[in-house]
Structure 1
Amino acid sequence: MINVQFAARPERWATQEAPLRAAFAQAGLNADLRPDHDPADVDYVVYAPNSDLQDFTPYTRCKAVLSLWAGVEKIVGNQTLTMPLCRMVDPGLTAGMVEWVTGHVLRYHLDIDNTIHTQDRWEPKVPPLAEERPVTVLGLGALGQACAQMLATLGFPVTGWSRSEKSIDGITCHHGEAGLRTALTGAEIVVLLLPDTPATENTLNDETLALLPKGARLINPGRGPLIDDNALLAALNSGQVGHATLDVFRVEPLPLDHPYWAHPNVTVTPHIAAETRAITAARVIAENIRRGEAGEPLLHLVDRSLGY
């Protein structure tokens, strides 16, 4: 019997229990899944970083902690979490992110906000073709790659940037400090999908925002700290950035007195770009437990030195 502890908020248990049990059965796992195991008996922890479990010291036989979240910045520094940690790379989450990003890129590309009229106005404004609209995706992990490839399929010339070197068919890839400058220069739409680490904080700041062509648009479904908020507000006020669609913030929910709410060139969405999907995430969890029991390498293992 494999003892699996579910460590997340009660509402997660309500939506995740049945899919997990079904995925375990499909994978042939004889697993005892529940939220109330004795820590000393636990083999695997299915985990959400906002759960009450923060001290992993009693979990002496735990083989791995399997996160339900794509981001692990809230737990990667936990000194008591010494066992392997796997982040969630969920096909359903990826599909949701691709749809959200593609929708907002097309919204900007087609200038939908300004061309849908609610009054009697006839002002034809024909957008360029996608091939004339350079898009840059910052972050080429699973989500960034999937979004970049979809946008390239639609005909956009897509440039990607990551901290380490990547090679992706159909995407012009850059890396490193000089590569970031190159990736931002000429980008009319920028999508941020980097992880939140000390090395990525304020990737967009006064200096990097100035590299963009005047009036560029920003889309951030990645992490709030990727953007220097004061620098972005200044760029919006000057017209250097034409509009920003922001789904993530340093403080969530976004405080009601934050300038983003009232800014005419900011669209706020409440962290809805992508969500872990219970059925597909359960299959990822089950596969990792199967791998752990078979002595095979775990999927999506977090590199503690990099923070993701």
Structure 2
Amino acid sequence: MQIPSSKLRVQTGKGKQTCLEVTEPSELLKFLQAEIPSKSRNDLKSLLEHHQISVDQEVITRFNYSLETGQQVVVNWSKVLVEKQPQGVKIVFEDPYIIIIEKQAGLLSIATATEREQTAYSILSEHVKNRDPKNKIFVLHRLDRETSGVMMFAKSEKIKKLLQNSWKEAVLERTYVVVVEGPVTKEQGTITSWLTESKTFMMYSSRTPNDGQKAVTHYKVLKKNKHYSLLEVKLETGRKNQIRVHMKDIGHSVIGDKKYGATKHPLARLGLHARVLAFRHPVTGEEVRYETDIPKEFLNLFS
């Protein structure tokens, strides 16, 4: 089918754009091929993948997206367009293989057998399916409900397996910031123990070698006053509730963590934030590092 010529407006300068008006129903990629014959099919698909095409001001990445008469298609040649963020999570990086988000405190990573409410997984799943119903995401690791911070998801089962099978080698750094009760006197240290889980889902720490899963946590004091300490924590292992249990082990429970001994709840949330995630990209092999800000409510306790 021959697609009639659209009305074309080109803006030059730093933010060069091509604006096209749809005059007849069509699929997006077919429309772009007819209107921009100088670009190959692969070039146009790359623009879609890199979020450089919008329809009526909404970023579209599906090549078979259905266009209707009167819609405006904009090709942004010089920069990636900002897509509307899904509510509850902030996407900090996305490519055809992975999605990295900053999760809010209070949001489950994934549904459990007893809790079927909205989760980071369900929000992202809906987000990718809005582009194409065939799209899926896959969980790589989790954060506790009341822990905020950086999480990574795979966009195919193949990438999930690649990362999970080489997780220790692929993940180069996982750094948290944590607010604990009381002033921590030792400025830095390493906590090593073996963790086991009870029938009531409590994690218990043992100093006896091989009495559970080995867990190693490194910490450094960033700030402190007579009430609280702000620590930078790096994980050598990634066990369930590891930081929370290890902070209790040194006599300084995470604020808001009643489950593991906290008596102070100044923020109405857990004082734990996954700040840094660094890893080797499963496809490109490049080192990728994402660092978020320390939550303001943490810092306000020390002002």
TM-score of the aligned structures, taking structure 1 as reference length: 0.27
Higher relative contact order (CA 8 A, sep 6+): 1
- Higher radius of gyration, 1 or 2: 2
More strand by share: 2
TM-score of the aligned structures, taking structure 2 as reference length: 0.28
